[in-house]
Amino acid sequence: MAIVEFSDHTNLLEQSAYKYQLQDVEKPNLYRHLFEYDSIPKVPFNHRLVPMGMPKEIWVTDTTFRDGQQSCSPFTVKQIVDLFKLMHRLSGPKGIVRQSEFFIYTDKDRQALEQCQNLGYAFPEVTSWIRANKKDFELVKSAGVKETGILVSCSDYHIFKKMNLTRAEAMDKYLGIVKSALEYGIRPRCHFEDITRADFYGFVVPFAIELMKLMEESGIPIKIRACDTLGYGVGYPGVALPRSVPGIIYGLNHHAGVPNELLEWHGHNDFYKVVSNAGTAWLYGCSSINCALLGIGERTGNCPLEAMVIEYAQLRGTMDGMDFTAITDIANYFEDEIGIPVPPRTPFVGRNFNATRAGIHADGMLKDEEIYNIFNTEKILNRPATVMVDSHSGAAGIAHWINGFYKLTGKKAVDKRSELVAKMKEKVDALYANGRNTVMGDYELDNILRECDERAYEYFQIARLDDED
């Protein structure tokens, strides 16, 4: 049996003034005053401020190969292994990308899992996701996987409408499944599906308390993953349950005694809140944020893993040895090898995230790149800031393009007032005057420059090749 290595949850429970009991209601509580269905859901406030308390250690976990893969064509084994290697590179020596979860249903799933395990990395740890039946527990065990995700849906939408159970029956069923996992010596990770529409004090907390009792009896850590399945979570101060991200994390920690390191947040982006909700979960006591590469996942997707490792660096003030250039390689891999396009405006990875077009911005970039670039994207992400040339870029845009494309710096850099830039601008302007409406490509501009000044072209080519050496 695994030794329990987490902070003392009994202490946390003792500090809680009130012991919440299961409310086995006859009719489902669907929070109709918030979720009418025929109107936009409402954000309720009770103006109670929840205390912040970021855990000592925070990290991210990955669901690219589970929730992510559910939303797109299945990956090949090689694609999974290649992405896993990139995640390992990103993770750094402290294992900030701590775990990654795998299906184990098909031969292909199991091959991918085994090949990733055989890489022998400490991080990310390979975990699984199963349907709760004996066969799947045996699979987890024989694959040598120590932790598995188990679905324990917790809103009345699921308990009453989907499973046709009462709360007491659902809780009983779930506890039975968790006990089986413990009997197999497997660490259960309980996915509290739809927690942002669930009765927090009438079901979520009493159920979590029972899980903590099982943890104490078995000595095996039980994780609780708070799943904001439809992205209803809100992080504003003073927001009320069940939509309050601070309230959910604080409540699980203080009223159910779930230690920070056994709390995980899994959000979706239906209301554009996935990244800020995840940051909020960290700030209010959740150690782990579940993410997917590029935010792939059901409907609007999961929390983008690359966003959260950068958020980690912002909140902690250190990259802790993570290699963020792997983020750029991951995005390229998705586009080139898997065929999943990255929307151009996507922060940190989209083609345009650090590209500017407007002449006035290009002018600023020429004077000092910091004026219009969020950080040194070339150094940190291996993505130099660029200026795209179109009808709005002007002489400054063209000069910036020349200097960027041919890597001309210092004295070699071309000035926006130079003759070469003026000639190129004339040609570019003529194209747009004749009805062109797309951005200029690098090689088109390369040709235009050659037409304008063959000698400069040759000189720049050499400068560019020298830089590559």
Ligand X SMILES: CC(C)C(=O)C(=O)O
Q: Which residues bind ligand X (CB under 6 A)?
A: 67, 151, 191, 193, 227, 229, 266, 268
**Least distance to ligand X, CB of residue 426, Å:** 55
Residue 196 or 373 with smaller CB distance to ligand X: 196
C-alpha–C-alpha distance, residues 295 and 278, integer Å: 12
**Cα separation values, 311 from 100, 292, 305, Å:** 19, 15, 10
Asked if 106 contacts 139 with a C-beta cutoff of 8 angstroms, the reply is no
| Secondary structure letter of residue 72 according to DSSP | S
For residue 15, which of 257, 262, 250 has the smallest C-alpha distance? 257
Is residue 238 within 8 A of residue 272, CB to CB? The reply is no
Closest to ligand X by CB, 193 or 261: 193
Q: Which residues contact 128 (CB under 8 A, 6 or more apart)?
A: 101, 102, 103, 104, 113, 139, 140, 143, 145, 147, 148, 149
Q: Write the CA distances from 207 to 219, 359, 425, integer angstroms.
A: 18, 59, 68
Residue 391 CB, nearest approach to ligand X (Å): 44
Neighbour count for residue 2 (Cβ, 10 Å) = 13
CB of 155 or CB of 377, closer to ligand X = 155
- Report how far apart the first and last C-alpha atoms of the chain are (Å, whole number): 56
User: SS3 of 237, please?
Assistant: coil
Q: Are 206 and 22 in contact (CB under 8 A)?
A: yes
Alpha helices in 143-283 (DSSP H): 156, 167-183, 205-218, 245-254, 274-283
As measured in angstroms, the least distance from the Cβ of 63 to ligand X is: 7
Cβ atoms of residues 381 and 373 within 8 Å: no
Residue with smaller CB distance to ligand X, 143 or 152: 152
To ligand X, the closest distance from the beta carbon of 67 in angstroms equals 5
Specify whether the CB–CB gap between 312 and 60 falls below 8 A. yes
The enclosing H or E element of 294 equals none
93/74 Cα distance (integer angstroms): 30
Find the shortest distance in angstroms from Cβ 195 to ligand X.
8
| Closer to ligand X by Cβ: residue 42 or 131 | 131
User: Smallest distance, Å, CB 153 to ligand X?
Assistant: 8
**What does the alpha-carbon distance between residue 243 and residue 46 come to, in Å, rounded to a whole number?**
11
Least Å distance, CB 197 to ligand X, is 11
Cβ closer to ligand X: 151 or 431?
Answer: 151
Which residue's CB is nearer to ligand X, number 300 or number 332? 300
The answer to whether the CB of 275 falls within 8 A of the CB of 227 is no
Query: What's the min distance (Å) between Cβ of 344 and ligand X?
Result: 27
Find the shortest distance in angstroms from Cβ 12 to ligand X.
Answer: 25
Rank residues 167 and 268 by Cβ distance to ligand X and give the closer one.
268
Angle at alpha carbon of residue 38, lines to 36 and 43, rounded to 5°: 45
Residue recorded with tokens 């995980």:
264
The C-alpha R_g of the chain, in whole angstroms, comes to: 26
- Closer residue to ligand X in complex, CB, 123/232: 232
Nearer to ligand X, 156 or 193 (CB): 193
* Least Cβ distance, residue 298 to ligand X (angstroms): 6
Q: Which residue is nearest to ligand X (CB)?
A: 227
CB of 60 to ligand X, least distance (A): 16
Among the listed residues 294, 324, 305, the one whose alpha carbon sits nearest the alpha carbon of residue 98: 305
**Which one, 67 or 306, has the nearer CB to ligand X?**
67
